[in-house]
Structure 1
Amino acid sequence: MKKWLISGAALLMLSPTAAYAKNADARPVHTSPVIAYNVVANTKVTTWDQFTTEIVKQLNNFAPEIKITYSGPMTDFNKKIMEAFEKAQEQAVYASGHLESTTISADSTGNVTFKVKYITNQKQEAAVQKKVDQVLKTIIKPSMTEFEKVKAINDYIVSNTAYGTKTKASPHSAYALLMEGQAVCQGYALTSYKMLEQAGFDTKYVVGYVNGNEAHAWNLVKVDGKWYHLDTTWNDPLPNRIGASSYDYFLVTDAQLKKDHKWIASDYPAATSTTYSYMQNVHFAYQVNNTLYFSNTADNNKLYKLDLASGKKTKVIDKRALYITGADNYLYFSDYSNSGYLTKLNLKTLKAEVLAKQVVSDLRISDNYLIYKVNAKDQTLKIK
């Protein structure tokens, strides 16, 4: 019986472990300890399609060892094994995005073993699945349009996470983003992929470059039959700022994204629809029913509102409003037309009132209190 070691190197077609953007962290990725798992007896297959299907199943289970016995035609055996593994990665996208390396060994009787290292493990992935189930149940409603569902997923990720590497788990993983609150772009894109797919969307995990030659990852998503780019990493400002989500990379076209992203376009479906171009220049957005109040970066951060049904933008008041939040019929923001002072706006009368003559940031509301920062320290103000 002859035995071959086919590959002792990483097979990372869909998982560039350096896929991160902005302040790229060049430290190597370390795999978390693999927990015990139930070993599945060698699966016996007679076709290469069956062989590929078994790899997909085991990758999706984050199995560290996959054993398959192949008893079909042996022509180009080693080549077929590699082709099957590549096809499996294309199908098991989320799991493949967490691959660190794979070693493949085989013998002349058709016994093949894949020893797989992931940047996560089965216990962590069980926690990820539980978290995704909980989040989607909370933020997605059956009555929502496809646009509203994608926006809800984008908003959850951006509002509850920060770009960073100070995590116990690999910062390249969805686990780090969902369970520790921060990750690099690979973690953002994999989390987006999983949530979008589970919400019923056709989606892609895209790898490419930004800022010249920095590896980066993001998503494509099909909304109402048309493909769009979604980069949740770049919708989340760096450094992290509470209440500072933006939509400059939300459902955009190839042409829009090519201004600062590069990728092999022929490897992915084309994104040409400009249906949601009205989401550009929308920062610090706060939603009231079907209206977004936002800081319009196309007009010196003046306070605008956006009718999500029509896509129409209208200036609310001639003030530069940042860190926008709200409650009842009032908006609260930092007024940079007036030294960054804490300001309250009555949405019915459009009367503005200064609440604190201090430069404020990071506004949010919790339990009837307005929380904001002055000189990086939290301040509170009862609003009800």
Structure 2
Amino acid sequence: MKRFLAILLGLSISLGTAGYLHYDVYADEDVPAITSESAIKQEVLKNLDKVKLEFTIPTKIPVYKSKEVDKIFKNIMDELSSTANYGFGNLTGYSYHISSKLGLIHIKVEAYYLTTPEQEKKINDKVKRIVKENHLKDMTDFEKVYFVNKYIASHTEYSSNATDDGHSAYAVLFDHKAVCQGYALAAYRILTEAGVETKYITGQVKDSNHAWNKVKVNGKWYNLDITWNDPMPDRGERYRLNYFLISDQQLAKDHYWKYRSENPATSKKYEFLMNAQAFDINKNNFYYTLQSDSNVYKWNMNTNKKTVLFQNNMPLKYIDVKGKWLTLEDFYGDITKAKIDGSNYTSLSKNNVNHWAAYVKQ
């Protein structure tokens, strides 16, 4: 029996799949105790995350349940098309067949990926280098996710004019151009290497297929959509926090997904950052401005205390923290400095007063 089907992965990729049943009877030793759907699913995820081109899942399920296992395997792959790991997100197609050894079912899978083994090696090397050179393993979960959001959004232009039409992590890391799938896969690789539990999610936005991530920060799950945190047209190093560590409830206002909520994101702890205009982080303190006022805030992430440091004359474009000093740049390009406690507020531009007067008149 042979079947062919296509599963839409949710991001302009069709997974070509083929499956058939085949029965052989011969001895096999050391068969693991795989007897359930969840165990089969974990074996699939484990092997795909290693980007294996082919692998076999030996089970202790009797051969007379082969049709049942065939259905289970298809259900697993359908579920993974909405929420999975890097390996599944990197798939372009797969085939499988079910056989028996000594009356027990074995599932053999052949997988086809966006990337070649050579590209995967380059991805692995660069991801390890990014994590090591930027000391990500010394950071908190929040700092790791903040860094990856900043790194990918500020180094990548949204474009399909790239390797694999921008769908792969390779396109992000080496072409610096990608579409949503590439953003989410690259984020998955860097965050996982840094020690942050991460999921690859697919769904829809405005009837278009889309991909993003879920991340686990301090024991709680949040949504992270770096594609939508990267302004269009591309603005170089500018990026946003509009879709940074937000809840399912907030994301559902413009995103749709069908997966079961095995990892529901219910916390709204960080959603005040959605309206951040300018921001930077330094030693457990997060400095930011909001679109709604001219205050410069300091948020201590250990105590969760928020403090108003001072009011700035003009809406800010950038905040940069170095040592004990904040450097502030407004949308006119004028520069102001202040100490991280809010003292010694000093204008470094002669144009500040004139620009402030023009701003007030608007």
Q: Normalised by the shorter chain, which TM-score bucket?
A: 0.7 to 0.9
Q: Give the TM-score, by structure 2 length.
A: 0.75
CA distance in 1, matches of 2:287, 2:160: 32
- From 253, 270, 274, the equivalent of 2:268 is 274
AA at the equivalent of 2:248: D
- From 236, 244, 261, the equivalent of 1:242 is 236
1:99 aligns with 2:91: yes
CA distance in 2, matches of 1:61, 1:192: 17
More helix by share: 2
Q: Deviations over 1:99-153 (max 9, x none)?
A: 1122334567767553332222221111111111111112335543222222122
Post-superposition offset of 1:272: 1.9
Q: Contact between 2:319 and 2:327, CA under 8 Å: does it hold in 1?
A: yes
- Secondary structure class of the residue paired with 2:62: coil
1:353 aligns with 2:349: yes
Q: Which runs of 5+ in 1 are unaligned?
A: 20-27, 31-41, 360-384
1:222 aligns with 2:213: no
CA distance in 1, matches of 2:265, 2:44: 31
AA at the equivalent of 1:75: Y
Post-superposition offset of 1:44: 8.7
- From 186, 204, 226, the equivalent of 1:232 is 226
Q: Contact between 1:248 and 1:279, CA under 8 Å: does it hold in 2?
A: yes
CA distance in 2, matches of 1:253, 1:52: 26
CA distance in 2, matches of 1:268, 1:213: 24
CA distance in 1, matches of 2:164, 2:85: 20
- From 54, 59, 64, the equivalent of 2:53 is 64
Q: Give the TM-score, by structure 1 length.
A: 0.71
- Alignment partner, residue 371 of structure 1: none
CA distance in 2, matches of 1:319, 1:332: 10
1:168–1:207 distance in 2 versus 1, CA, 3 Å: closer
Q: Contact between 1:29 and 1:119, CA under 8 Å: does it hold in 2?
A: no
Percent identity over the alignment is 30
1:162 aligns with 2:154: no
- Alignment partner, residue 187 of structure 1: 182
Aligned-residue Cα RMSD (Å) equals: 3.6
Matches within 5 A, 1:251-262: 251-262=245-256
- From 182, 200, 203, the equivalent of 2:198 is 203
Post-superposition offset of 1:176: 0.8
CA distance in 2, matches of 1:154, 1:87: 30
CA distance in 1, matches of 2:100, 2:259: 40
- Alignment partner, residue 172 of structure 1: 167
- Alignment partner, residue 381 of structure 1: none
Q: Deviations over 1:39-84 (max 9, x none)?
A: xxx9995755686666445423323344567785212314414524
- Alignment partner, residue 133 of structure 1: 128
1:304 aligns with 2:258: no
AA at the equivalent of 2:334: T
- Alignment partner, residue 83 of structure 1: 72
CA distance in 2, matches of 1:53, 1:287: 37
Moved more, 221-230 or 271-280: 271-280
